[in-house]
Every structure is written in structure tokens, then in C-alpha cells.
């Protein structure tokens, strides 16, 4: 499967932008991070079984990967993620649910007046005129002038800065680049840049209960980049297992605790696309058996390589491995399991390995080895998914890309922390239910 990585329209922004201000007494906070299939989610359907939800996770990952592949431009399109977060926009704040993504480089919300937008059932449109702290950016502002030149910047009214984004065949949004106060946790942050969308389309991914996007990527207009001084450049998250009635958590600033004897870290690496959190994978261990140590042709996985080869992605459920790594991994894993794979039903043929009545006790742990000696152990419960009664499939898929994707299933019960100042990623095994 050909998988293209995602950038937003703002990847080319390289100028320094004004930073949001906040109350100096607040140095850290945490917010619930809600899986879209959780009972806490506005999208929750109580009639679905856990197997139904697993199938939906699978379909969303495959559909998202296929949509990336359809894009002929080498951009990582701003597509819906698996988690949502509630924030307040404006003064007084309007509470909205936004889709969260570590590959998203932009914050945007649907604004009145909005053409062809979904009628909001559980969520609300933001009304700029109702906020005393809202103002649109001028087309002469530094942020506006940094937008790609292929898109119009000046609107017909008041010289407001306009943006357009049409990175895929079925995703499109346009509106005004604006600033307002964002209430996140207990803290209001002033002058946050966001896209006030007056038009958007996405027949598959937008829903009446989720309003817009909350970008957590490395791009300069993401939430974490704009709040960098206030949160000391730090954020982390701890993901609950699928189907949990408890929310996952995302932490910012001083609430980020990535210390202790079990913490490992690896440097963020250079990537062709600056919004992505890319690290360098040097090996995979199935049990205690190395996949790459016997193969000296895999120069891309040498520890001194300056370029990343694995993107950390909270937006994608599945994990994707480059084919030159995936093939020896599958050979080693199937040999270690010692069970006969079953015929895979047509609707799940994107999976390569499925078993009937598989005991996870027979499955060895997988260890991801990153630059700097950071070993991250992945238990069998994070590698397999039940898609039909008695049929369990390996939730790892091959990609023809040279970079893999570390999906959110692999990150379950793992505190993952990002330090944008030290340019490092931290991993800490954690029971996210009692963190």
C-alpha cells in the first residue's frame, strides 16, 4: 500500500509569529482526550459491540491511508483523527469538540456564516461577532504573508486574510485566518491563531458532533507550537485501551512528568515535512531476536542516520512498517507464534496475518529500538485486534513508503512525551487508568 505522509497548507511557514499570552501563574494543565468510540464521546453508538468498533477502527485506518495515497502531491492531508478534545473559543467561550492530531499543523473551527456545513447537533458553530476578543488577521500580517502563494490571501471584505485547503479529492476547507482567546483546561490563552472556516467539505470524516481540528504537530501554527513558551515546549499523552469507559489524558507544561527509571528517550529527527514527529528506528526485536542485525544492507536503519524513518501518529490506529522491515518481521513473528494463519475474509484482506482463537500468551513481545538505545516494548494486546468472533488479526500493515507510522494502538498504556525545546521524544510504560 502506498502511503503518503500528511502536511497542512501551512508547512512552508518559517517566519516568527507572535505568541499567545496567558496568565503567568498557570504553568501546566491536563485535558481529557476522548476516543471517538468511547462512551464519553459525542459520536458514541451504544448499539455497537466491541468487535463492531474494532472493525470501524480498521476501516478508518485503511480509508485514511487510501485517501493519502490518492493525493498526487506529496502532502500529508489534514484528515480526521481518532481522538477528540473539548476546548473553549472566544469571550465568552464557546465549547467545541475538535479532532486532535499530532500530524495536524493547524487549528480551525467552523464559523458563522458557514456554507454547506453540517448542522451542528452536539457541537456549535463559532460566531465571531459574539466574541469580544475575536479579530481577523489582515492580509498584510506576517502570518498571512507566510501562506503558500498559490492561494489567495486577501478577502473582498476588510482586507481579511483568507486561507484555502484542498489537499485531497474529498477534503476542502476555506475561511479567515483569525485570532481569539482559547480556553484549554483552566487557562485562557489570548491571541491564538486559527482558521475560522466559513466553508468545508468532507463527506466521510466530518460529523455533526465534532467541530474542526486541533493540530498538535510541529508546524508553527499548531496549538503546541503557539503555546510553546507557556507550556515550556512540553506535552504528553497517555492512551487508554479501546473500549475503556475512562478518558485518555493529554498533559501540557509542568504537568508533563517524563522522569523515572523506566523512561527512555530518543531525538526527534529531520523529516521532509516539518509538521511530523519523526524518530529513527534502528531495529525490531521479536522476543529477543533482532530483525535487522543479520542484514547489513539496511543502511536506512543505522543508528547514526540523521533522517527519521518512523512517524509517531496519534491520528492513525494501525501501525505501518516499510516493506523491507515488514517482510522479515512477519517471517519472524509467524515463526514465533507457531499457529497456522487462517484464510482472511475479503473485507479484511488489507491484513496479512489472522488467527482463529489465538491465545495472546503464545505471542512474544515486540521491542522497538530507537536511536540512543531507547527500547520500547509492545505487548501482544497492543498488536492484535479481534475483527470477527474468534478471528484475531495482526494490526500491522506493510507500506511502500520509506517511513513507517507508529499508530495509536501501539501507544496504548504508554506515556508518550514531547519536548520541543530539547527536540526529544520520551516513552514511559504506564497504566493509563491510574496515572
pLDDT, residue 137, reads: 92
Confidence grade of residue 168 (pLDDT, cut at 50, 70, 90): very low
CB 277 within 8 A of CB 300: no
Domain boundary among 228, 252, 276: 252
The model's pTM is: 0.87
Within-domain flag for 128: yes
What is the C-alpha separation between 387 and 50, in angstroms, rounded? 9
Same domain, 375 and 422: yes
Using CA atoms, how far apart are residues 114 and 129, in angstroms rounded to an integer? 14
| Residue appearing with cell numbers 482558521 | 195
Task: Give the whole-angstrom CA distance, residue 412 versus residue 87.
Answer: 24
Is 4 a domain residue? no
**For the domain that residue 366 is a member of, what is the CATH number?**
2.40.70.10
Burial of 138 (0-12, 13-18, 19+ CB in 10 A): middle
Please indicate, yes or no, whether residues 202 and 337 belong to a single structural domain of this protein: no
Is 138 part of a structural domain of the chain? yes
Q: Are residues 243 and 295 in the same domain?
A: no
Q: Are 91 and 133 in contact, with CB atoms under 8 Å apart? A: yes
Residue 16 lies in a domain: no
- 296-301, Cβ contacts within 8 angstroms, sequence gap of 24 or more: 298/324, 298/325, 300/324, 300/402, 301/325
Q: What is the pLDDT of residue 74?
A: 35
Query: 189-233, pLDDT tens digit by residue?
Result: 999 999 898 877 654 445 556 778 898 998 888 999 999 999 999
Per-residue confidence (pLDDT) for residue 25, from 0 to 100? 47
Mean pLDDT check: name the lowest of 96-110, 169-183, 394-408: 169-183
228 and 282: one domain? Answer: no
* Helix (H) or strand (E) segment spanning residue 60: helix 50-70
Residues 286 and 232 in one domain: no
Q: Are residues 198 and 300 in the same domain?
A: no
DSSP string, 350-386: T-S-EEES--GGGSPPEEEEETTTEEEEE-GGGTEEE
Residue 5 lies in a domain: no
- 203 and 279 housed in the same domain: no
Return the closest-CA partner of residue 89 out of 118, 112, 119.
112
Among residues 252, 269, 301, the one where a domain terminates is 252
pLDDT in tens, 40-89: 888 788 898 888 888 887 777 766 665 555 543 333 334 456 899 989 99
The answer to whether residue 83 sits within a structural domain is yes
332 vs 20, which has greater pLDDT?
332
**Residue 9 lies inside a defined structural domain of this protein:** no
Tell me which residue has cell 499567545.
20
267 & 248 share domain:
no
Relative to beta strand 396-399, strand 404-406 is unpaired
Verify that 135 and 162 share a domain, yes or no.
Answer: yes
pLDDT category at 300 given cuts 50, 70, 90 is: confident
Asked whether residue 13 is domain-assigned, the answer is no
Choose one of 252, 268, 291: the last residue of a domain: 252
Domain that holds residue 151: 21-252
Domains in the chain, number: 2
pLDDT 10s digits, 371-430: 998 999 999 999 998 888 999 999 998 888 888 999 999 999 999 999 999 999 999 999
Amino acid at each position: 500500500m502506498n502511503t503518503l505522509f500528511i502536511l497542512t497548507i501551512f508547512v512552508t511557514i518559517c517566519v516568527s509569529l507572535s505568541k499567545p499570552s496567558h496568565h503567568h501563574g498557570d504553568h501546566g494543565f491536563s485535558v481529557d482526550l476522548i476516543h471517538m468510540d468511547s462512551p464519553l464521546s459525542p459520536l458514541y453508538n451504544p448499539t455497537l459491540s466491541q468487535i463492531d468498533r474494532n472493525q470501524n477502527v480498521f476501516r478508518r485506518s485503511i480509508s485514511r491511508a487510501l485517501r493519502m495515497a490518492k493525493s498526487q502531491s506529496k502532502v500529508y492531508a489534514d484528515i480526521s483523527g481518532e481522538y477528540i478534545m473539548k476546548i473553549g473559543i472566544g469571550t465568552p467561550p464557546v465549547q467545541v469538540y475538535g479532532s486532535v492530531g499530532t500530524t495536524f499543523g493547524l487549528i480551525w473551527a467552523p464559523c458563522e456564516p458557514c456554507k454547506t456545513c453540517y448542522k451542528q447537533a452536539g457541537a456549535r458553530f463559532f460566531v465571531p461577532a459574539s466574541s469580544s476578543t475575536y479579530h481577523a488577521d489582515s492580509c498584510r500580517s506576517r502570518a498571512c504573508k507566510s501562506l503558500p502563494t498559490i492561494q489567495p490571501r486577501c478577502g473582498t471584505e476588510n482586507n481579511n486574510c483568507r486561507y484555502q485547503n484542498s489537499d485531497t479529492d474529498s477534503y476542502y476547507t476555506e475561511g479567515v485566518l483569525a485570532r481569539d482567546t482559547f480556553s484549554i483546561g483552566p487557562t485562557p490563552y489570548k491571541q491564538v491563531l486559527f482558521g475560522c472556516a466559513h466553508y468545508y467539505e468532507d463527506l466521510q470524516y466530518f460529523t455533526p458532533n465534532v467541530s474542526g481540528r486541533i493540530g498538535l504537530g510541529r508546524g508553527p501554527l499548531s496549538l503546541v507550537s503557539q503555546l510553546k513558551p507557556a507550556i515550556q515546549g512540553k506535552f504528553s499523552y497517555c492512551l487508554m485501551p479501546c473500549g475503556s469507559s475512562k478518558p485518555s489524558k493529554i498533559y501540557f507544561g509542568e504537568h508533563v512528568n517524563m522522569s523515572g527509571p523506566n523512561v527512555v528517550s530518543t531525538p526527534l529527527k529531520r523529516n521532509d515535512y516539518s509538521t511530523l514527529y519523526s524518530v529513527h528506528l534502528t531495529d525490531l526485536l521479536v522476543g529477543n531476536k533482532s530483525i535487522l542485525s543479520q542484514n547489513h544492507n539496511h543502511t536506512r536503519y543505522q543508528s547514526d542516520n540523521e533522517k527519521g524513518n518512523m512517524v509517531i501518529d496519534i491520528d492513525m490506529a494501525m501501525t505501518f512498517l516499510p516493506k523491507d522491515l515488514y517482510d522479515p518481521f512477519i517471517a519472524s513473528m509467524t515463526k514465533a507464534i507457531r499457529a497456522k494463519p487462517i484464510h482472511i475474509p475479503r473485507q479484511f484482506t488489507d491484513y496479512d496475518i489472522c488467527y482463529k482463537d489465538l491465545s495472546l500468551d503464545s505471542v512474544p513481545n515486540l521491542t522497538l529500538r530507537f536511536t540512543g538505545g531507547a527500547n520500547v516494548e509492545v505487548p501482544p494486546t497492543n498488536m492484535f485486534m479481534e475483527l470477527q468472533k474468534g478471528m484475531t488479526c495482526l494490526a500491522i500493515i506493510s507500506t511502500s513508503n520509506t517511513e513507517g507510522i507508529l499508530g495509536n494502538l501501539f501507544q496504548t498504556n504508554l506515556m508518550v512525551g514531547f519536548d520541543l525545546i530539547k527536540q526529544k521524544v520520551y516513552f514511559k510504560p504506564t497504566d493509563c487508568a491510574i496515572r
